[in-house]
Homo-oligomer: A and B are copies of this chain.
């Protein structure tokens, strides 16, 4: 199982499945069909069956999927037993919203350190998270063994901060800046570009209207 190579699109749907299974399990439900799953997570049932097939036959025809078994399975895949600490770099408006964002909801993720240059907030604890000065980035990331960072700095500092993060041993960056940062091939970047998301939505609406 550890060697399964799954498509990126499938990987992106795993947390969705997981979250809904947590919900079903909490409700005491024991079985779920791909149709029900499909409606809840808004993914067509053919894709769900194909996604699940990458991990071996987990469901029985006419019976559906066993909620507890699926849940244990996804928990393992998604490493939900281990808390993942991430760093937040840049505590402006967006950074502040991210500090308040509940990543722990069903995912075992926690922002455990934040960094900024603003003297009004460095050295303080915000939302339970210590805000360090960016000059302590390398030291803190190394001491806290943090490998994942959320980049929410102003765009003119995006690349230089990313470079520092990589030098400090960061292996994954969730990039909130509009800049496409360049990184070595062993560093993963997940871009969250809100203007692009909105533009895509508008584009599809215009297509619908034609």
Contact surface of A with B, Cβ cutoff 8 Å:
2-3, 5, 8, 11-12, 14-16, 19, 39-42, 77-79, 84, 86, 92-94, 96-98, 100-103, 105-107, 109, 147-148, 150, 171-172, 174, 178, 180, 182, 186, 188-208, 210
Instruction: Pick the contact of A107: B12, B79, B190, B195 (CB < 8 A).
Output: B195
Q: Are A93 and B103 neighbours in the complex by a CB distance under 8 Å?
A: no
Residues A192 and B195 in contact in the complex (CB < 8 Å), given A11-B200, A105-B178: no
Q: Oligomeric state, in number of copies?
A: 2
Give the docked Cα–Cα distance between A126 and B182 (Å).
35
| Chain B nearest CB, measured from A92 CB (Å) | 8
| Chain B nearest CB, measured from A104 CB (Å) | 8
Q: Which of chain B's residues have a CB closer than 8 A to the CB of A42?
A: 180, 182, 189, 191
Q: Are A186 and B208 neighbours in the complex by a CB distance under 8 Å?
A: yes
Q: Which of chain B's residues have a CB closer than 8 A to the CB of A77?
A: 203
Residue of B nearest to A191 (CB): B42
Residue of B nearest to A98 (CB): B194
Give the docked Cα–Cα distance between A42 and B193 (Å).
13
Q: Are A190 and B197 neighbours in the complex by a CB distance under 8 Å?
A: yes
Residues A174 and B201 in contact in the complex (CB < 8 Å), given A93-B100, A97-B97, A180-B40: yes
Give the docked Cα–Cα distance between A96 and B93 (Å).
7
Give the docked Cα–Cα distance between A104 and B120 (Å).
29
Q: Which of chain B's residues have a CB closer than 8 A to the CB of A41?
A: 180
Can you list 27 A-B pairs, Cβ within 8 angstroms, ordered by A?
Answer: A12-B196, A15-B195, A15-B196, A16-B193, A40-B180, A41-B180, A42-B191, A78-B203, A79-B202, A79-B206, A92-B100, A93-B97, A93-B101, A94-B97, A94-B101, A102-B195, A103-B194, A107-B198, A107-B199, A109-B202, A172-B201, A172-B204, A174-B197, A174-B198, A186-B208, A188-B204, A192-B192
